[in-house]
Amino acid sequence: MLRVALPNKGALSDIASTMFKEAGYLQRRDSRELVLVDEDNQVEFFYLRPRDIAVYVGRGILDVGITGRDLYLDADVDDDVEEQLSLGIGKSAFRFAAPVGAFTDASQLNGKRIATSYDVLLRHYLEKSGIDASVVRLDGAVESSVRLGVADAIADVVETGNTIKAAGMEIFGDVLLASEAVLIGRVGHKPAGLEVLTRRLNGVLVARQYVMLDYDVRRELADQACALTPGLESPTVSDLANSDWCAVRAMVKKSQTNNIMDELYDLGARAILVSQIHACRI
Ligand SMILES: Nc1ncnc2c1ncn2[C@@H]1O[C@H](COP(=O)(O)OP(=O)(O)OP(=O)(O)O)[C@@H](O)[C@H]1O
Ligand SMILES: O=P(O)(O)OC[C@H]1O[C@H](OP(=O)(O)OP(=O)(O)O)[C@H](O)[C@@H]1O
Ligand SMILES: [Mg+2]
């Protein structure tokens, strides 16, 4: 059985479970369940802290897991672990922040104290950038550390920026790391069932990104219409009862749907219909 680690709580927990449900796997009903066996799909799920998932996968105890890129890099197991798939969700940026007006650039952090929950990531960045600052490792609520006098600045995960703002702070300097949820595995480890699992997850990603577009167009305009909707391999063009017209079916990016519909309509296409894709294998 494939042994898969999923976040048991926190920002990545629900989004990871939802994705596995959409990929056809059984998921726990109670957030206190720590292990779940999906007999039909031959997968055993272990619900763990996302920070620990990299350790279990890196040591080869579990086959693959979902965690944040920032978390597995901070666990310092990146020699043993590789990203198998980026999931495009749970996005965040690891950034410096300090009280408004205090700093404008990371180089001003020389000799200062920086609080963070991601000390390995921060130390790597400071070393690489030749900044000599002291690192204060905290477990969470890092935004309060400056006000409480334990640090001069912080390095923390920023998503909307609301927490930073509410604490009277602003971000400054480079983005230290752009993170998102990723499927990680042990380097070179390809257990039975992994290929099917990644194909299924990839199917969910594509189904979320694309819609199916159907329309009718006059035959002499079919080539021009197909150029607007090239699909993945090639659009399906079918005969209609009225031989002057044909029907076209193609997948298009969700974000471009309305622009493409407008262009098709201007070209003369009619009966332009959009439908959702629930699942797919590309
Ligand atoms: N708004 C957010 N807040 C925190 N982490 C986020 C956010 N958006 C995405 N993430 C990502 O989620 C992961 C953090 O997971 P974690 O379980 O620590 O979440 P959490 O919400 O901080 O949970 P907890 O505070 O209960 O420990 C990181 O990979 C981080 O980049
Ligand atoms: O940019 P935002 O959308 O405001 O989100 C980022 C905030 O969310 C996380 O905190 P969390 O709630 O996980 O608390 P913690 O710091 O105690 O982990 C993170 O540490 C930031 O504080
Ligand atoms: Mg947190």
> Residue 145 above 90 pLDDT?
yes
Contact 96, 176 (CB under 8 A): yes
Determine the residue of 163, 170, 177 to mutate for testing ligand 2's pocket, defined as the one with the most ligand atoms within 8 A of the Cβ atom: 163
pLDDT at position 136 is 98
The whole-angstrom separation of Cα 168 and Cα 154 is: 13
Residue 91 backbone phi and psi in degrees, to 5: -75, 140
The whole-angstrom separation of Cα 58 and Cα 126 is: 25
pLDDT at position 181 is 98
Ligand nearest to the CA of 91: 1
Q: Whose CA is nearest to atom 9 of ligand 2?
A: 157
Q: Whose CA is nearest to atom 14 of ligand 1?
A: 11
pLDDT at position 76 is 87
**Residue range 197-253, pLDDT digits in tens:** 999 999 999 999 999 999 999 999 999 999 999 999 999 999 999 999 999 999 999
> Residue 42 above 90 pLDDT?
yes
Please report the atom of ligand 2 found closest to the CA of residue 158: 1
Q: pLDDT confidence of 282, banded at 50, 70, 90?
A: confident
Average pLDDT, integer, range 100-118:
97
Contact 221, 267 (CB under 8 A): yes
Residue 238, judged by CB atoms within 10 A of its CB (0-12, 13-18, 19+), counts as exposed
Please report the atom of ligand 1 found closest to the CA of residue 12: 12
Ligand nearest to the CA of 166: 2
**Residue range 160-193, pLDDT digits in tens:** 999 999 999 999 999 999 999 999 999 999 999 9
Dihedral of CA atoms 273, 277, 281, 282 in degrees, nearest 10, equals 50
- The mean predicted confidence, pLDDT, of the chain is 97
Altogether, the residues listed in the chain come to a count of 282
pLDDT at position 138 is 98
ipTM attached to this prediction: 0.94
- Given strand 270-276, what is the order of strands in its sheet? 236-239, 245-253, 210-218, 270-276
Ligand nearest to the CA of 163: 2
Q: Cα of 213 to ligand 2 centre, how many Å?
A: 39
pLDDT at position 78 is 83
Residues with CB under 6 A from ligand 1: 7, 9-12, 50, 68, 70-71, 90, 92, 140, 157, 159, 179
Place of tokens 């000390």: 119
pLDDT at position 260 is 98
Determine the residue of 12, 13, 182 to mutate for testing ligand 1's pocket, defined as the one with the most ligand atoms within 8 A of the Cβ atom: 12
What's the one-letter identity of residue 60? Answer: G
> Percent of the chain, pLDDT > 90?
98
Q: Whose CA is nearest to atom 4 of ligand 1?
A: 11
> Residue 146 above 90 pLDDT?
yes
Q: Cα of 11 to ligand 2 centre, how many Å?
A: 9
CA-to-CA separations, 77 to 52, 73, 116, 172, 271, in angstroms, rounded:
11, 7, 19, 28, 54
Determine the residue of 158, 160, 169, 171 to mutate for testing ligand 2's pocket, defined as the one with the most ligand atoms within 8 A of the Cβ atom: 158
> Percent of the chain, pLDDT > 70?
100
Q: Where are the alpha helices (DSSP H) in 79-214?
A: 119-129, 162-166, 194-209
**Residue range 259-276, pLDDT digits in tens:** 999 999 999 999 999 999
> Residue 124 above 90 pLDDT?
yes
The whole-angstrom separation of Cα 4 and Cα 185 is: 10
Q: Cα of 15 to ligand 1 centre, how many Å?
A: 12
Structural domains of the chain ordered from first start:
2-90+180-192 (3.40.190.10), 92-178 (3.40.190.10), 211-276 (3.30.70.120)
Contact 51, 75 (CB under 8 A): yes
Q: Cα of 24 to ligand 3 centre, how many Å?
A: 29
Average pLDDT, integer, range 61-75:
97
